[in-house]
Structure 1
């Protein structure tokens, strides 16, 4: 039957990320982004985004060409991102924590045409370009001011770049919903990072999902304490709140200080925060010693690792007026792929929750069949906030996205109520004496010992058993970890084949920006034989 409609007409494909500042109805005088006392209203943010876009177009940056940003948190980050979107270019979000050669390698891999770089990163980039290592790099634009000596090696300074460009609507064909918006290099808990692509639609659907799942409103605000280059910095609360016309507060990168965070949040009536578990532990220690009025905090999102019962109960007591959501997200699958509603925080302890709005999850066995409740398998995700693939890596894309389902590489199970429990990365599975050991099971027990602040369980080569279990422990402040005591503690609470055969104490576990332990680095450390 002929419906009389044009099936090819796409009434939504013109949507793109610039609509966060270009849409009608925004209050131009409302604060959009605040940092270090500097306020960008929505009107000023729109103007700055247009200047960035027009500056890029003046350089001849074409549709889909890559523009990198390598900087710690700063107020210019958001306007640069939206300006790149306005020029229909693709942002390459790079961690400021990279070593110089890592940064240069990612610039080369992405064939970046322009890089917006913090002043301290400019000289090595300029040297690499001069040496012919970055043949595609046309322009280096430095964030900073004259006091930071930004001119050495840079082509121009950011404020000059913006001042030379106009504030008119960029004269280019706007990006479409499925066009790539950014490349985010994955955190690399299992090795070398890959460039996951987020389209304009991926970002917008992620925003819509969080607005609806978490009830975000224009009067809300958040305080960004994670790096903006990281998925948790922008894609958890931040862009979703800008989508609603709300206010985003940004903290400078590095050196989390729980007391400073509480001071700022309470003084500025911040309503929403994201803390990874290590941050929440520090916050609770401060609250144990110093009272704060936390009644204005409406929601705390926690992700990166499950909360222990002790921490969940302490958090409940410390923030009696606050909704808690525990989330499971990944660079390829959206900022909040699943979440545990506040009402289930303690009754579904350790769970990653149920699928977020518009998402679907499955747990499958090696043959791809759905696992029964309680049976561990690989976690699969499908939804509009899932990556379309990896940048210039068709093989990795084909292996990871099969029939529309993202194969996460994470192991987990669903309980009888459909709540997801994550057991760990498939590459972290320990096989000892032919028995499968999921590190999360052992970690939950070791973490319950009063002398243990946090733990990562890894498998080490063993001539007899194939692998042996090692618990790498951070001590609770003021406590001494005794190896024999930890092993005995586990022996009484775990099957014999699951207990650690050794315990190693470290000052600090190596982590990604999301708080996940980089176990491949722990396994690479030299260990004495059992």
Structure 2
């Protein structure tokens, strides 16, 4: 239903808007009101929060309700604003509707909400050209070409990885051609893995500017995103999507594979909460070739299930899974190493991107690498890109404002290529974050770090407002602090992120109580659950005085030190 509603709206020239299903009623109201939404498609399990707010939304005219697989069905209220999805589809099925307007490339086509610096979500505006071009070619071309120097080296050096790529080619089931190419790839890897001189020569040829220009500028756009790729790969290559489609990583991975080559999308049931056993059963049953996850938050329970299955004598057959990509949160090196022990023929990769820009670069890893050899939070922007709908990213020296040079200690990543037009109803922020440098348009991601001696950008943190990245979700401290301070017993509060093995960062609150007031963690947690989405609710509450500077500024390093000391006591 989500897919049908999205594609139908897009074909008709309407503007889809994403809503995080973990939002509470007030957060949902904000997005619907801010986006000027007039029609809402929703699962029936969200009837209660919608009933709380719909009368406050005068523009909202229709609510189309459906039941998602794996959840008990609910009847919607009898109010005329509600309509059953199947009734809606039957009533409007038949011949192609005649539109009274033309859908053009420069039309607004998607309003994608992400977290805002004030804590409220902000909508990123896309037109058809930037969104469709990015999905059809841009993101995949950018990721593959940026990762090509590493992938070419792995392909020539690692026979296990070459066998995995050959298996992916063979799964395309192109008569005569697939098995021929697969055998050739295995034969070449068998020779080059033992001959360093030949490997170096072939690697230099494959990664040369001329070769990449030939592949990505002249061949790629005439094969992928075209009827020929849909005929060759559609139904043969399969992608397991455990991520919610409203999330940038889930949306972009699914639609990128769909638009690129008609790749089948597989959604584990039920969609929430995530079930690692159901995920691996979906991979095995459907012989999935690729998947997308969100860092350690997903990988830890996935590996635990693989360990458990092995111990219980029911190991999963993962030989079909060749490409495993993560985006949105840290994927620790030691977990990458362990993952590849279960999937020695695959390549796994961190994909780096944002809601405002889509996926930008890829840092691939294959079996045989030790944890200390695996790069973390590294993006090589020295690779010049040639693919359609791509752009050459930039790292800025924050001290000079000019492009950063190798060795720069204070740098910021700037994204190029297809990107949003700006923020909905936020011209000042649009002007600040979407900039033109030397005649080229860039999005200033806000991610800061340093540039190594080889030109690789190493991410260290996000500048500006304090942002906590927990399980792939962005939590802005100001929003949670504001809610905490509204509780009658609370005098002051500060929210920080502390390292967490599963979530990347755990949202943690220091709560300073009024006078002689007393409160418990459970009490505070229950209060927060009614005020904000679950992922924003602090996982730890520390009752302690908040440390501030003389001018009232929160001293976050000192507060984090307090948190760590108090947690050790527990």
- When normalised by structure 1's length, the TM-score is 0.64
**Aligned equivalents of 2:78 and 2:126: distance in 1?**
33
Q: Does 1:340 align with 2:363?
A: yes
Could you tell me which runs of 5 or more consecutive residues in structure 2 were left unpaired when the two chains were aligned. Answer: 145-219, 225-232, 310-314, 478-493, 504-524, 529-534, 548-561, 563-570
**Aligned equivalents of 1:362 and 1:352: distance in 2?**
14
Of the candidates 47, 55, 60, which is equivalent to residue 137 of structure 1? 60
Alignment match, 2:553: none
SS of 1:326's equivalent in the other structure is strand
Alignment match, 1:409: 446
Could you tell me which runs of 5 or more consecutive residues in structure 1 were left unpaired when the two chains were aligned. Answer: 1-75, 431-438, 444-455, 459-467, 478-506, 511-516
Deviation at 1:366, TM superposition (A): 4.7
Matches within 5 A, 1:60-71: none
Deviation at 1:285, TM superposition (A): 1.8
Q: Does 1:157 align with 2:84?
A: yes
Deviation at 1:262, TM superposition (A): 0.7
**C-alpha contact (below 8 Å) 1:270/1:297 kept by paired residues:** yes
SS of 1:125's equivalent in the other structure is helix
**C-alpha contact (below 8 Å) 2:294/2:329 kept by paired residues:** yes
Alignment match, 1:62: none
Which stretch of structure 1 is more off in the superposition, 257-266 or 304-313?
A: 304-313
Q: Does 1:362 align with 2:287?
A: no
Distance 1:181 1:174, change over 3 A: same
Greater helix content? 2
Deviation at 1:339, TM superposition (A): 0.9
- When normalised by structure 2's length, the TM-score is 0.60
Which stretch of structure 1 is more off in the superposition, 117-126 or 227-236?
A: 117-126
**C-alpha contact (below 8 Å) 2:117/2:465 kept by paired residues:** no
Alignment match, 1:286: 305
SS of 1:91's equivalent in the other structure is coil
Residues 197-230 of structure 1: CA distance to partner in whole angstroms, max 9, x if unpaired? Answer: 2222232232213444559843211111111111
SS of 1:270's equivalent in the other structure is coil
Alignment match, 1:394: 427
**C-alpha contact (below 8 Å) 1:338/1:352 kept by paired residues:** no
Deviation at 1:330, TM superposition (A): 0.8
**C-alpha contact (below 8 Å) 2:365/2:374 kept by paired residues:** no
SS of 1:111's equivalent in the other structure is coil
**C-alpha contact (below 8 Å) 1:112/1:136 kept by paired residues:** yes
Residues 373-409 of structure 1: CA distance to partner in whole angstroms, max 9, x if unpaired? Answer: 232222111111x111111211111111111211111
Deviation at 1:121, TM superposition (A): 2.8
SS of 1:94's equivalent in the other structure is coil
Of the candidates 147, 166, 185, which is equivalent to residue 113 of structure 2? 185
Of the candidates 12, 31, 36, which is equivalent to residue 111 of structure 1? 36
Alignment match, 2:405: 372
Residues 32-91 of structure 1: CA distance to partner in whole angstroms, max 9, x if unpaired? Answer: xxxxxxxxxxxxxxxxxxxxxxxxxxxxxxxxxxxxxxxxxxxx1011001111221111
Alignment match, 1:53: none
**Aligned equivalents of 1:298 and 1:380: distance in 2?**
30
SS of 2:464's equivalent in the other structure is helix
Number of corresponding residues: 385
Alignment match, 2:209: none
**C-alpha contact (below 8 Å) 2:18/2:113 kept by paired residues:** yes
Deviation at 1:267, TM superposition (A): 0.9
Alignment match, 1:209: 138
Distance 1:250 1:169, change over 3 A: same
Matches within 5 A, 1:320-335: 320-334=344-358
**Aligned equivalents of 1:138 and 1:159: distance in 2?**
18
**C-alpha contact (below 8 Å) 2:394/2:413 kept by paired residues:** yes
Residues 319-351 of structure 1: CA distance to partner in whole angstroms, max 9, x if unpaired? Answer: 1011111111110110x2111133598645113
Residues 462-500 of structure 1: CA distance to partner in whole angstroms, max 9, x if unpaired? Answer: xxxxxx9987354789xxxxxxxxxxxxxxxxxxxxxxx
Deviation at 1:256, TM superposition (A): 1.3
Distance 1:204 1:417, change over 3 A: farther
Q: Does 1:171 align with 2:188?
A: no
Of the candidates 72, 78, 94, which is equivalent to residue 3 of structure 2? 78
Residues 241-294 of structure 1: CA distance to partner in whole angstroms, max 9, x if unpaired? Answer: 244222111133322121221111111111111111221122122222322221
Higher relative contact order (CA 8 A, sep 6+): 2
Distance 1:429 1:147, change over 3 A: closer
Of the candidates 278, 281, 288, which is equivalent to residue 270 of structure 1? 288
Alignment match, 1:246: 263
Alignment match, 1:319: 343
**Aligned equivalents of 2:107 and 2:399: distance in 1?**
33
Distance 1:383 1:111, change over 3 A: same
**C-alpha contact (below 8 Å) 1:351/1:419 kept by paired residues:** no
Superposition RMSD in Å: 3.8
**C-alpha contact (below 8 Å) 1:220/1:270 kept by paired residues:** yes
